[in-house]
Structure 1
Amino acid sequence: MLPLRNRCQRTLPLGNGLEFGWEMGGRSCCVCNEAPFKYKCPSCRTPYCSVTCFKKHKEESCQKTLPQEEISKSPLQLQEEVTLNTTCTAKSLNTACPTKVLEAEDPSWLVDNNRLRSLAELKGIQDALRDPELQKMILKIDGSSEPEKELERVMEGQAFREFTNKILDIVSPQE
């Protein structure tokens, strides 16, 4: 086996889906090596502690990796997983959920991933998403057989309308 220069280097496969590397090591940020990590890079799963460290990591050392089970799946298998798992049943905001296949009449309506990430990091948005009532409304829209009608219904309420206006102000600011 090749020696690791530091515990934050990429992991080494041991077989049977097991890997040796930083995930088995300590809990400090792999960018600054000082603070405990709180997040993992969505592309390569490297742990980092802050936005500053994330930006530095992206600029200097990020290498996108896919888990072995994702590599072995065909595009058709991945598509079936996405369409079968259309609603989020997560109990916490930190749990990733499957997403629906996006359908947009106009591709310019879609928000790019960088803007979505920066939106998710905003304290005002995070605070709003902790509201159990707002969570219920979002899950109801997502799980509806007619999501557009459900969205229209919840938009009648002031709380949901304020939340969506916050998002729209950030995603597409008026010039």
Structure 2
Amino acid sequence: MRPQAARTCEICEKAQSRYKCPSCLAPYCSLSCFKKHKETPCAKPSSNEEKPAAAPLKEVPVERPVHVEEASQVVQKTQLEALASSSEVCEALKDESLQKLIRDIDSSSDPLLELDKAMGVEAFRVFTDKVLSHISS
């Protein structure tokens, strides 16, 4: 595993970012910055598109492509917004051991193996149940 470079939140430009916008991959640090970012529509950056001169986007490297076998398994924007606004999910994410599990999965060269390991941890199973209940609503 290689260590991830620290990035600054593109919204407040103060705190270290811990998350990426699912649409445009812009780094942000908190729910409030995510909500502020979502006040303006965004989209996934394309290397062939010209970036608007008024508001150039910073490039955020993606470490690996995401492959989805079934389009129905992709989380929709409204579902992500429901997660971002869920106090229950946000409260669960304050748990440092849960944060570490999620970072381990995200940075792993074999994320499915790490996910299987994490499912053996009660706190992670409870968290995934909360997430699933919010996105299936």
TM-score, length basis structure 1 = 0.47
Deviation per residue, 1:6-65 (Å, 9 max, x gap):
xxxxxxxxxxxxxxxxxxxxxxxxxxxxxxx97414252xxxxxxxxxxxxxxxxxxx47
* Structure 1 residue 142 corresponds to structure 2 residue 106: yes
C-alpha contact (below 8 Å) 1:140/1:150 kept by paired residues: yes
Q: Which has the higher contact order (CA 8 A, sep 6+)?
A: 2
Structure 1 consecutive aligned stretches of length 4 or more whose deviation exceeds 3 Å: none
Aligned length in residues: 97
Q: Deviations over 1:68-96 (max 9, x none)?
A: xx79x535xxxxx66x433xxxxxxxxxx
Residue correspondence of structure 1 range 6-17 to structure 2 within 5 A: none
RMSD value, Cα: 3.1
Partner of residue 95, structure 2: 131
Decide whether aligned partners of structure 1 residues 130 and 106 sit closer, same or farther in structure 2, where only a CA change above 3 A counts. Answer: same
Determine if the alignment matches structure 1 residue 42 to structure 2 residue 38: yes
Residue identity over aligned pairs, in percent, reads: 34
In structure 2, what is the equivalent of residue 25 of structure 1?
Answer: none
Unaligned 5+ runs, structure 2: 1-31, 50-58
Note closer, same or farther for the CA distance 1:104–1:131 as it changes in structure 2 (3 Å cut): same
Where structure 1 has 5 or more consecutive residues not aligned to the other structure, the ranges are 1-36, 45-63, 76-80, 87-99
